Amino acid sequence: MTTATTAPAATTPATPSVGASHLRVEGRDKVTGAARYAADHPADGLAHGWIVLSTVARGRIRSVDDAPVRAMPGVLTVLHHGNAPRLKEDFAGTFGPDATTRILQHDRVPHAGWPVACVVAETPEQAREAAEALVVTYDTEPHDVTLRPGHPGSHPAETTAMGPGRTEKGDVEAELAASDIVVDAWYTTPEEHHNPMEPHAAMARWEDGRLEVVDSTQGAYATARDLAQLLGLDPADVRVRSEHVGGGFGSKAQARPHLVLAAMAATVLGRPVRIALTRRQTFSLIGHRSATVQRVRLGAGADGRLRALDHAALSATSTVHEFVEPSAAYARSMYDASGHRTVHRVLPLDVPTPTFMRAPGEAPGSFAVECALDELAERCGLDPIVLRARNEPAAGPVSGLPFAGHRLADCFTEGARRFGWAGRDPRPGVRRDGRWLLGTGTAASSFFTGAFPATATATAHADGAFTVRIAAADIGTGARTALTQLAADALDVAPDRVRVLIADSDFGDAWVAGGSMGTRSWGWAVRLAARDLRDRLASGAGIPPEGLTVRANTEEAVRSLAAYERHAYGAQFAEVAVDPGTGEIRVRRMLGVFAAGRIVNPLTARNQLTGGMVWGLSMALHEEAVRDTASGGLVNADLAGYHVAAHADVPAIEVAWLDDPDPDDPVGIKGIGEIGTVGSAAAVANAVWHATGVRHRDLPIRPDRVLAGGAAPVTAAPVTAAPVTAAPVTAAPVTAAPVTAASVTAAPVEQDRAGHR
């Protein structure tokens, strides 16, 4: 066939790139605007879709009066349940069956903001005006959007994304009864929304018999496979790309309505169709984190050693699909006790289907458990770090499996040193700086370490350059850069010789950017392919003009991983200032020390871990979607109303890590996508207690809640761990309103013991 060239690259060893900071390889494209996101791709004959959302929270569509709208300027079609192409009825995608995908397939309206029609027009403005003019009438039914314990509609969750719905060992009640100290407290977190910077968008078009899609997705391959199934197409006939994605946080891991409707419309019209969601639309179309109501009971001896741990978590789901926020799974690997029980209940409500959102389960679950431990430390008169050290599990508390590394205590030791924890006065409410009360808090952090099989190819070119292809996604994490570094080291070349192409479903199966498993799963496959290529070149293989390509799949390697408790760990610290007169809280500094596997790129790793901690701060003090019980819709579905931490809220954040490679993985990565968030809200909440002497168990800790709680007089009296009741506001009557699925306005007053477990 052709002349072969010996690769100069394979014989040129390079300084290892992994472990050295590397600027994002696509950074210049992003800051100069050259990088194209899903809504930026041009196409000849492009039409624009606009999704019409239901204004009622429950009922049936009586009519869609599309005739007047079809006569409006530029309108090409109006899709609704009466005319839309049929989707596969028993769809079971990457994350299992999910009837939330049944868009425009029936007349049922399961929540406010459900897609009931899609108007397609020549321009986005025409589509939007026509969509807003479309008259849809409904037969409404009474709705319920209020999450509350004891609701007769709730039921035990059989399973969650993080394992079984329930685990139990020993006799929790007997151990509680035999405990010297019992903490029994309720914690609530509100409905939270992902809010990536880039709202979801997709463009779909038919090209040479294939459906070509650009989507803002965390997993091009999974999205292509799921979309093909939904539309009844051969998977080979669907291609999805997502070269640049402006954040996802779990909301872009599945085929969302904008994508399905763009594909439908492109099929119906035979034209390219783009649908870009508004920020407001993302609040009902892309999933969210359910509010949670959690009860934690801890029983311990006077020495703080746990005898009982009971964590019961209630969350909401929609009426079309059950997604359980797996909050109670957190303690299954973190803390052992003779009586150990973790239970989930779930309540279907007339709300959108919740989904994975940054550290699903771990974020709200760690808030409850790590705050309860802080309360236990206070009651035992123990330093919170000492308490945690006394409760290090020898093996998986539920699984019984050994740990594949457990450096939590080391994280606390290093964190305490850096933070200046030694000599901390444990008394709450005694430090002042002018008007401000000061306090410090800490919490543990953990995230499971997993991997999914992936396929990668590595190609050597005759000019000494290399191309790596894998259907990975870089949602802002720096994955593309990390994979470039990993590939360069595996090839023994400098990173500038390696080009990594990602986010194209044609590159083969690869896990989504999710579960903190993206870079680990992809990096493993990239390394296998690159090593194989290097070895072939070293053994004298020639490079044909089209390049020499090898393909690797990690299916076997990943499946043969031995069963261990595999986790990353961290220690979170926060110092806060609280103004008891205005209720304002300012976080003054945060520190996170992590043992989270091999760190590939310190620059982007620091960015990810810091970002996770900011999300924890944001969860502790700001984030809260507020649902109107009367209409069932949100009253703050924009970034003016749904607060995330602003720059001014974010203090100096220090991040450090310990050497902690995973020995069973040739790359040694454990994943750092979510661990920064875990425990950080608890550290802030614990610091607020240390500042004020008042336990705030309901997030976010807003100024009005601080004012309602006041600042406790400094006494030696133990703080009660009784269920939180609605504290009176001095100037106005406050009624204990029921907890809505969005806004946990007051903690449950009545404990429904039978109903909640």
Partner 1 sequence: MREFRYHRAAATADAVALLAADPEARPLGGGTNLVDLMKTGAERPALLVDLRDLPLDRIETTADGGLRVGATVTNSDLAAHPEVRRRYPMLTQAVLAGASGQLRNMATVGGNLLQRTRCGYFTAGATEAAPCNKRAPGSGCAAVAGEHRNHAVLGASAHCVAVHPSDMAVALAALDAVVTYETADGPGELPLTAFYRPVGDTPHQETALPPGALVTGVVLPPAPPGASRYRKVRDRASYAFAIGSLAAALDVRDGVVREARLAFGAVASHPWRARRAEQALTGGPADAAAFAAAADAELAAARPLPHNGYKLPLLRDLVVDVLTALTEEAAA
Which residues make up the interface to partner 1 (CB under 8 A)? Answer: 53, 55-57, 73, 112, 125, 128-129, 132, 278, 280, 435, 581-584, 586, 621-622, 626, 628-638, 640-641, 643, 645-649, 702-704, 707-708, 729-735, 737, 743, 745
Q: How far is the CB of 58 from partner 1 (least distance, A)?
A: 12
- Of the two residues 70 and 427, which places its CB atom closer to partner 1 in the complex? 70
Q: How far is the CB of 730 from partner 1 (least distance, A)?
A: 5
Q: Which residues are registered as beta bridge partners of 92?
A: 97
Query: Which residues are CB-contacts of 733 (< 8 A; sequence separation ≥ 6)?
Result: none
Q: Which among 158, 207, 674, 750 is annotated as catalytic? A: 674
State the Cα–Cα distance between residues 668 and 673, nearest whole angstrom.
15
Q: How far is the CB of 128 from partner 1 (least distance, A)?
A: 5
Task: State phi, psi for 268 to the nearest 5 degrees.
Answer: -65, -45
- Of the two residues 509 and 584, which places its CB atom closer to partner 1 in the complex? 584
Q: How far is the CB of 641 from partner 1 (least distance, A)?
A: 6
Cβ atoms of 157 and 324 within 8 Å: the answer is yes
The structure tokens listed for 121 are 């027009």
Burial class of residue 107 in the structure, from the number of CB atoms within 10 Å of its CB (0-12 exposed, 13-18 middle, 19+ buried) = middle
Catalytic-residue membership of 674: yes
Q: Is 35 helix (H, G, I), strand (E, B) or coil?
A: coil
Q: Is 9 helix (H, G, I), strand (E, B) or coil?
A: helix
CB-CB neighbours of 732 under 10 Å: 6
Cis peptide before 700 (omega within 30 of 0): yes
- Of the two residues 646 and 754, which places its CB atom closer to partner 1 in the complex? 646
Q: Is 152 helix (H, G, I), strand (E, B) or coil?
A: coil
- Of the two residues 638 and 659, which places its CB atom closer to partner 1 in the complex? 638
- Of the two residues 121 and 482, which places its CB atom closer to partner 1 in the complex? 121
Q: How far is the CB of 146 from partner 1 (least distance, A)?
A: 13
State the Cα–Cα distance between residues 47 and 751, nearest whole angstrom.
54
State the Cα–Cα distance between residues 388 and 365, nearest whole angstrom.
16
- Of the two residues 643 and 757, which places its CB atom closer to partner 1 in the complex? 643
- Of the two residues 73 and 97, which places its CB atom closer to partner 1 in the complex? 73
CB-CB neighbours of 259 under 10 Å: 29
- Of the two residues 538 and 652, which places its CB atom closer to partner 1 in the complex? 652
Q: What's the one-letter identity of residue 547?
A: G
CB-CB neighbours of 13 under 10 Å: 9
State the Cα–Cα distance between residues 535 and 491, nearest whole angstrom.
9
Q: How far is the CB of 732 from partner 1 (least distance, A)?
A: 2
Please name which of 197, 168, 162, 235 lies closest in space to residue 514, comparing C-alpha atoms. 162
Query: Which residues are CB-contacts of 67 (< 8 A; sequence separation ≥ 6)?
Result: none
State the Cα–Cα distance between residues 441 and 321, nearest whole angstrom.
38
Cβ atoms of 528 and 554 within 8 Å: the answer is yes
Please name which of 748, 750, 709, 753 lies closest in space to residue 728, comparing C-alpha atoms. 709
Query: Which residues are CB-contacts of 265 (< 8 A; sequence separation ≥ 6)?
Result: 47, 49, 77, 79, 118, 120, 204, 273, 275
CB-CB neighbours of 276 under 10 Å: 22
Q: How far is the CB of 431 from partner 1 (least distance, A)?
A: 19
- Of the two residues 9 and 121, which places its CB atom closer to partner 1 in the complex? 121
Looking at the annotation, which residues are catalytic?
Answer: 674
